[in-house]
C-alpha cells in the first residue's frame, strides 16, 4: 500500500512532466473509484498545471481554475507515457498534456480517487488533517499537550491523521523501534524526552524512505512497467520471530487497532 514516502516519490517523478503544461484531454475509463469521478473534472481541460503538491497521501494538481485531487488508494500508481500505449485492464484515467505526455492512473482495487474542486471551493478531505511530519510544525511543543490528553497506545496516537499525517503502519513500527518505545505504551505515560526522540525518529524514517525511493524516479517513464513501491530497509516490520537487529531477542507481533504491530520487548520499554 503506498504510504507518504511513495506518494512523495510519485510527486517527484511526475511533476517535471506536468508543471507548465496544459491539459488537452482527460479520459475517464472507470468513473467508479473510491468516490465517483465528478463530471466537472472536465473543467480542467484547456488549463495549465501550475504545480503538483502533496498533502498527506493526496496529490494536488493545481490549476488557475481549481484543483485535481488524486489518491493512490491501496493499489494505485501513476505512470508517465511519452508515447501512447493501449490501456491495460486497470488503467482507469489518462490525462493528456500539451507536451504529448500522458499521465496514466492504474488502480486494480479502485480504492483511490480523482476528484475536482473548483477555485475557492473548500477541500473537505484535507480540512481535518494534522501537520506534515517533515515540517517544523510537527514538534514537541505541538505534540506534548495532545499526548497528555489521550489514553490510547502511542502507536495509535502517531498514526492518527488528526495528530500528524502520513505516519503509516510500517513507519510507525520502525520509528517506535528506533526511539526504544513499546507500541503498547499509553500515550499519556510517555516521557517528554522520549516523545521528543520519537518525533525525531518519525522524521528520520520518513526522510530515509523518500531517499530510498529516489532510485525509482525513472520508472515513471517506463511504458511497460509501473513505478514499484521501493524496497525498504526495515528493522522490525514484518519480522515476527526473527532476531532483533540490536539484541537478538525474537521480534514479537500483535494486532493493535487492527494493524499488525512488531516490536522487541527487550529494546522497547513499556
Domains in the chain: boundaries: 4-127, 140-263
Give dist(CA 104, CA 125) in Å, integer.
23
CATH architecture, domain defined by 140-263: Orthogonal Bundle (1.10)
**14: three-class secondary structure by DSSP:** helix
Query: Per the structure block, which three cell numbers stand in for 257?
Result: 487497532
Stated as kind and residue range, the H or E segment containing 16 is helix 4-18
For residue 106, pLDDT over 80 is answered with yes
Burial class (CB in 10 A: 0-12, 13-18, 19+), 32: exposed
- Mean per-residue pLDDT of the chain: 92
**C-beta separation of 198 from 176 below 8 A:** yes
Give dist(CA 74, CA 190) in Å, integer.
32
pLDDT in tens, 34-60: 999 999 999 999 999 999 999 999 999
Beta bridge partners of 115: 69
Residue with C-alpha cell 487492527? 258
pLDDT at 212: 80
Averaged pLDDT for residues 58-71: 98
pLDDT at 36: 97
Burial class (CB in 10 A: 0-12, 13-18, 19+), 237: buried
- The residues annotated with a catalytic role in the active site are 2-3, 57, 259
Give dist(CA 151, CA 25) in Å, integer.
50
pLDDT at 176: 98
Is 150 annotated to bind ligand?
yes
Query: Among 116, 10, 7, which residue's Cα sits nearest to residue 56?
Result: 7
**31: three-class secondary structure by DSSP:** coil
Query: Per the structure block, which three cell numbers stand in for 108?
Result: 486494480
Least confident of 67-81, 143-157, 191-205, 229-243: 229-243
- Superfamily of domain 4-127 in CATH is MutM-like, N-terminal (3.20.190.10)
Is 79 annotated to bind ligand?
no
Alpha helices, H only, 122-246: 124-127, 140-149, 154-158, 169-179, 192-212
Q: How far is CA 264 from the centre of its chain?
A: 26
Query: Among 145, 148, 153, 151, which residue's Cα sits nearest to residue 172?
Result: 153
Is 55 annotated to bind ligand?
no
Give dist(CA 83, CA 64) in Å, integer.
27
Query: Among 9, 63, 14, which residue's Cα sits nearest to residue 41?
Result: 63
Query: Per the structure block, which three cell numbers stand in for 39?
Result: 463530471
pLDDT in tens, 188-219: 999 999 999 999 999 999 999 888 875 555 65
Handedness of CA 226, 227, 233, 239 (dihedral sign): negative
Enter the pTM of the model. 0.90
pLDDT at 216: 58
Amino acid at each position: 500500500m503506498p504510504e507518504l514516502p511513495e506518494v512523495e516519490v510519485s510527486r517527484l517523478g511526475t511533476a517535471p512532466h506536468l508543471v507548465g503544461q496544459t491539459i488537452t484531454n482527460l479520459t475517464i475509463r472507470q468513473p467508479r473509484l473510491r468516490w465517483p469521478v465528478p463530471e466537472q473534472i472536465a473543467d480542467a481541460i484547456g488549463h495549465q498545471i501550475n504545480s503538483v503538491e502533496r498533502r498527506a497521501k493526496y496529490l494536488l494538481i493545481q490549476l488557475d481554475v481549481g484543483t485535481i485531487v488524486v489518491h493512490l488508494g491501496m493499489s494505485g500508481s501513476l505512470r508517465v507515457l511519452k508515447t501512447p500505449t493501449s490501456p491495460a485492464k486497470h488503467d482507469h484515467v489518462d490525462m493528456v498534456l500539451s507536451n504529448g505526455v500522458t499521465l496514466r492512473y492504474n488502480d486494480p482495487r479502485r480504492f483511490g480517487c480523482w476528484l475536482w474542486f473548483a477555485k475557492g471551493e473548500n477541500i473537505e478531505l484535507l480540512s481535518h488533517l494534522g501537520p506534515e511530519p517533515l515540517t517544523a510544525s510537527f514538534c514537541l511543543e505541538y505534540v506534548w499537550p495532545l499526548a497528555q490528553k489521550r489514553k490510547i497506545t502511542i502507536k495509535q496516537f502517531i498514526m492518527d491523521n488528526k495528530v500528524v499525517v502520513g505516519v503509516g503502519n510500517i513507519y510507525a513500527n520502525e520509528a517506535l523501534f528506533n526511539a526504544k518505545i513499546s507500541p503498547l505504551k499509553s500515550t499519556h505515560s510517555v516521557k517528554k524526552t522520549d516523545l521528543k526522540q520519537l518525533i525525531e525518529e518519525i522524521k528520520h524514517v520518513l526522510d530515509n524512505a523518500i531517499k530510498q525511493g529516489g532510485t525509482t524516479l525513472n520508472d515513471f517513464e517506463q511504458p511497460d512497467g509501473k513505478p514499484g513501491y521501493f524496497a525498504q530497509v526495515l528493522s522490525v516490520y514484518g519480522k515476527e520471530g526473527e532476531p532483533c537487529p540490536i539484541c537478538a531477542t525474537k521480534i514479537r507481533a500483535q494486532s493493535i487497532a487492527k494493524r499488525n504491530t512488531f516490536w522487541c520487548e527487550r529494546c522497547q520499554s513499556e
